[in-house]
Amino acid sequence: MARLGREPRTDYEIAVRDPSGFPSVLRNAPFEHDGTPMPTRYWLVDPTLIAGIGRIEAAGGVRAAEAAIPALDIAAAHARYAAERDADIAPSYVGPRPSGGVAGTRTGVKCLHAHYAWFLAGGDDPVGRWVHERLP
């Protein structure tokens, strides 16, 4: 996949397309092809959005988002994200599993790109909404 910039390590589907039909967000399987757990369910691949969010992060956006959004709201979003990802794992599965919430994070905010990808794919993510309000 050209927008990913490398060969995908998981099965995936395109969750969101831009107005021109190009992929914007991928929804990853919970495991890489070699069985490694994949905690990041949604992956942003739109270069314009990646650059815009990179500018927000470079200006201190991760800390600003954590300061602006109640920690309990962020924790609830992580739990929803993990539950959605884990629903794709067979109940009989035995072995290492993906952990954490958005981008594998257990608390706080790690990556605005991952939060925004989930938000674009329809996730109830207060950090993704916060990012959306700051993109040009």
| % residues pLDDT > 70 (the chain) | 98
Containing structural domain, residue 53: 10-134
Is position 33 within any domain? yes
Is position 5 within any domain? no
Nearest Cα to Cα of residue 120 among 2, 24, 53: 24
Residue 101: its pLDDT value, please?
95
What order of strands is seen across the sheet that includes strand 10-17?
10-17, 23-32, 42-44
20-70: per-residue pLDDT in tens?
Answer: 999 999 999 999 999 999 989 999 999 999 999 999 999 999 999 999 999
Is position 27 within any domain? yes
How many independent structural domains does the chain possess? 1
